[in-house]
Amino acid sequence: MSLHNNPSEAKAYTRRAFTLGSLALASASVVAPAFLQRSAVALEAAMGGRGSTPGVPEDRVLVVLQLSGGNDGLNTVVPFGEAGYYNARPRIAVPEREVLRFGRGADGLGLHPRLADVKAMYDDGLVGVIQGVGYPNPNRSHFKSMDIWHTANTNATGTGWLGRYVDNECAGSPEEDAGRAPSVAIGRTAPLAMQGRQVQPVAFENANLFRWLGEDLHDALAEPHQRLAERAPVRDHAHADGHGHHHAETTADFLVRTALDARISSDLIRNAVAQRPLVEYPRTRLAQQMSMIASMIRAGLKTRVYYVSLGGFDTHAQQGGAQGRHGQLLAEFGGAVRAFYNDLKAQGNDTRVLTVSFSEFGRRVGQNASNGTDHGTAAPMFLFGPMARAGVIGEHPSLRDLEDGDLKHLIDFRSVYAGVLERWMRTDSREVLGRSFRVLPVTRRG
């Protein structure tokens, strides 16, 4: 045999669909090993064959969109009504005539011209702009500040806030978790925000790589591989053995279960993503990643939280004004989100999905010598979706009352998290955030 030929993708999917079907059937049989039964049940649940779990919010989905590198908030939501803005940024300010004005109720404010897609959504009542979001004693290290946002802890330590949410709401017995993928990150690794103590996030960058490569090498490997994977753990020795394990299952059992989880979620996700989206997406990386999320939602995955990132916002030099590098990133951001909601609307799923965007910090008010901006503090967050609270939320931070040349934050980001948890995910935010924060309403009234 040769290990170097390539079976077609389509064939692999058909085979998978078939074998998964028969795996589900096995659950009815008394002879199936217990762990196979468990996985068959989990599979059924994951495919939408079972009703909702009591206590878990119906079928609401949260998408977190991270803008990495520190998005320049002042050139995103532009305070064109303030002379201070133009004085601080002689070479990179967005000219007043090019700003996409919010209009009534938000005088002197508008969006960067390359955010036309976001403006169109705003006009349709699908966008909320939360101004001046930050935290006390801002940290200007990308690394630290990102960890602060991810852990929801100004010490930047501990588990991720979304991980804790998923642990609280979705952690059941291992059999219930199998293949459910309660949280999915598009990326090489799952972000700290999604790392909890119990339920593991699923992370992948390219759904086609989220599987065993052996299948590419030769057809003949697939069938024995499956037989090797789908078998009861070998060594079932007593768990309370001489080594005093505190885990309910042995290490070998844990691995067999995770391998099975991986195979089930891999199949579910790859089947979902293989569908053609209902609308055209821009040809950008972010848009393609958001189209994968839309496809997973459409396929009925039980995933509650999706995470996606767009990098490149660390614009220390030549960031441009109305045009240029920063504007290009904003265009990619807006184009992807708009196509995503068009797709969700065509699916009939748009009201189920709230999207929240953030960046680890904004940038300094004054431009630097390289026509860029250095690490700053408070910045706007965006809410998207028909159920999001629409309009401009809060006051724009003052350009006159600065702290060491930086904006002072007006809304703590954990109030936004609390709002998302309480109003959208319908959970007790104190359980997840460790203490009580003012709950910022992030959804429409009623």
Partner 1 sequence: MSRLWSDVTPRTSPQARARAAIAPLDPGAFGPDEARHLLLRVGFGGSPVQVRLVAEWGLDRAIEYFLNPGEANFRDDTPPREIRDSVMAEPNPEQRQAYRRAAARGDEDALARLRAMIQERQREDRQQARAIQRWWLTRMIESPAALQEKMTLFWHGHFATNYRAIENSWHMLMQNRLFRAHALGSFAELMHAIIRDPAMLAYLDNHRSRRGNPNENLARELMELFALGVGNYTERDIREGARALTGYTFNNNEFTFNPRQHDRGSKQILGARGNLDGDAFVRAILAQRSCASFIAAKLYRFFVAPLPEHWDDRRDPGATPEVRAYVHAMADTLRRSRYQLAPVLREVFRSAHFYADEARGELIKSPAELLVGSIRQLLTPTRDLNTLLDAMDLMGQNPLFPPSVAGWPGGRWWINTNTLFTRQNAAAYLLTGRLAGQRQPRPADSYDPAPIVQTLAREDERAAREPEALADQLLRFMLGRRPPEAAATIASFIAEHGGVRNAQGVTGAILLITAMPEYQLC
Binding positions for partner 1, rule: CB under 8 A: 1-4, 6, 143, 157, 181, 188-190, 200-204, 206, 208-214, 216-218, 220-221, 224-225, 227-229, 231, 233-235, 237, 240-247, 250-252, 254-256, 258-259, 261-262, 265-266, 369-370
The helix (H) or strand (E) run that includes residue 121 is helix 116-123
The smaller minimum CB distance to partner 1, of residues 110 and 160, is found at: 160
Nearest approach, Cβ of 270 to partner 1 (angstroms)?
Answer: 12
Nearest approach, Cβ of 347 to partner 1 (angstroms)?
Answer: 25
Nearest approach, Cβ of 422 to partner 1 (angstroms)?
Answer: 29
Report the distance separating Cα 364 and Cα 184, nearest Å: 33
Report the distance separating Cα 341 and Cα 354, nearest Å: 10
The smaller minimum CB distance to partner 1, of residues 96 and 374, is found at: 374
The smaller minimum CB distance to partner 1, of residues 227 and 283, is found at: 227
Nearest in space to 310 (alpha carbons), one of 284, 291, 283, 292:
284
Nearest approach, Cβ of 266 to partner 1 (angstroms)?
Answer: 7
Report the distance separating Cα 178 and Cα 164, nearest Å: 18
The smaller minimum CB distance to partner 1, of residues 284 and 367, is found at: 367
Nearest approach, Cβ of 30 to partner 1 (angstroms)?
Answer: 19
Nearest approach, Cβ of 164 to partner 1 (angstroms)?
Answer: 17
The smaller minimum CB distance to partner 1, of residues 70 and 335, is found at: 70
The smaller minimum CB distance to partner 1, of residues 216 and 422, is found at: 216
The smaller minimum CB distance to partner 1, of residues 49 and 214, is found at: 214
Report the distance separating Cα 181 and Cα 42, nearest Å: 11
Q: Which two tokens stand for residue 403?
A: 């702290």
- Residue 231 DSSP class: S
Nearest approach, Cβ of 367 to partner 1 (angstroms)?
Answer: 11
Per-residue burial over 104-140, b = 16 or more CB atoms within 10 Å of its CB, e = otherwise: eebeebbbbbbbbbbbebbeeebbbbbbbbbbeebbe
Helix, strand, coil: what percent of the chain each, to 5?
Answer: 40, 15, 45
Q: Report helix angle 251-274 to 285-298, nearest 10.
A: 100
